[in-house]
């Protein structure tokens, strides 16, 4: 008599999901749908968030501003740096006029060579001061740009980890975005079957959540390193998704890797 039917069913389900089954017409394996790209966006410098106009599920475009942090202090630094650059430009004009005047006087023996050398030094130093000021302007402008977090590619926001008014620290995670324009199927294949898997091989993936709808794909990655269970990661890019608007990452599926029959043809 079975004393723990629930445990027996759970164990049976685990074996069904975890074990690859070699079918007569190919290799089948369970796995999940994954996005083409998944990125966690974080703050590069400290700042208070003043706008974060997206929510989980929103579709965003490449270059779109997703998070804005307060840059009031940096704007003040920028104004100061620009004023320093303007002052350096004025200093250059003044020292160049002095240098030109002393050169004329030196020709008539009216000033010493030391005075002329000092004028040339001042003119050269003024040029370097302008370069320093311009570099400071560029540095502050770069920090101001870092107060905005932009979408690196067209994506879907899958996690919102911050809110307006929050003080974001450097490297603090703010949003997670995924590229759903291309989806992939990831699974693990046992070592005895991996020799039958090749790059470019066709795959048919049945998705349980979509009433066992079949999606076609092509193997695009085989990781040549197994785990402790002697299985290898295999990834297939899903190529035919017509009408499958509800196909999302993390959905469970079972893939059949189409293999050549003994006569050298595929089923």
What tokens were used for 179?
């590229």
What tokens were used for 116?
């002329």
**How much is the pTM?**
0.72
Mind listing the domains of the chain with CATH numbers? Answer: 5-37+180-258 (2.40.30.170), 41-68+149-176 (2.40.50.100), 72-145 (1.10.287)
Burial class (CB in 10 A: 0-12, 13-18, 19+), 47: buried
Which residues of the chain, if any, have pLDDT below 50?
Answer: 1-24, 262-265
CA geometry: angle 34, 37, 42, nearest 5 deg: 120
**How many H helices and E strands in the chain?**
3, 13
Place of tokens 């949003």: 175
Q: Are 56 and 157 in contact (CB under 8 A)?
A: yes
What tokens were used for 59?
């579709």
Q: Measured between alpha carbons, how far is 38 from 231 in angstroms, rounded to an integer?
A: 24
Looking at residue 7, what is its pLDDT? Answer: 39
pLDDT digits over 149-166, tens only? 999 999 999 999 999 999
Looking at residue 115, what is its pLDDT? Answer: 80
């Amino acid at each position: 008599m079975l004393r723990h039917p629930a445990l027996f069913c759970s164990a049976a389900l685990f074996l069904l999901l975890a074990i690859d089954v070699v079918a007569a017409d190919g290799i089948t394996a369970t796995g999940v749908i994954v996005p083409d790209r998944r990125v966690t966006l974080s703050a590069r410098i400290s700042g208070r968030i003043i706008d974060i106009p997206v929510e989980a599920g929103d579709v965003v475009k490449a270059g779109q501003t997703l998070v804005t942090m307060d840059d009031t202090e940096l704007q003040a630094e920028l104004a100061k740096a620009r004023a320093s650059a303007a002052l350096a430009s004025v200093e250059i004009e003044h020292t160049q006029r002095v240098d030109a005047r002393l050169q004329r006087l030196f020709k008539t023996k009216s000033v010493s060579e030391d005075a002329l050398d000092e004028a040339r030094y001042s003119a050269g130093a003024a040029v370097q001061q302008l370069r320093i000021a311009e570099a400071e302007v560029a540095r502050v402008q770069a920090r101001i740009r870092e107060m905005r977090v932009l979408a690196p590619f067209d994506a879907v926001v899958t996690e919102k980890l911050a809110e307006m008014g929050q003080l974001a620290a450097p490297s603090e995670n703010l949003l997670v975005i995924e590229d759903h324009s291309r989806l992939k199927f990831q699974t693990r294949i046992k070592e005895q079957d991996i020799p039958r898997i090749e790059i470019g091989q066709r795959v048919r993936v049945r998705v349980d959540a979509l009433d066992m709808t079949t999606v076609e794909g092509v193997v695009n990655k085989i990781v040549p390193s197994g785990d402790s269970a002697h299985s290898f990661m295999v990834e297939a890019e899903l190529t035919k998704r017509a009408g499958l608007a509800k196909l999302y990452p993390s959905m469970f599926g079972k893939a059949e890797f189409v293999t050549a029959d003994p006569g050298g043809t595929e089923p």
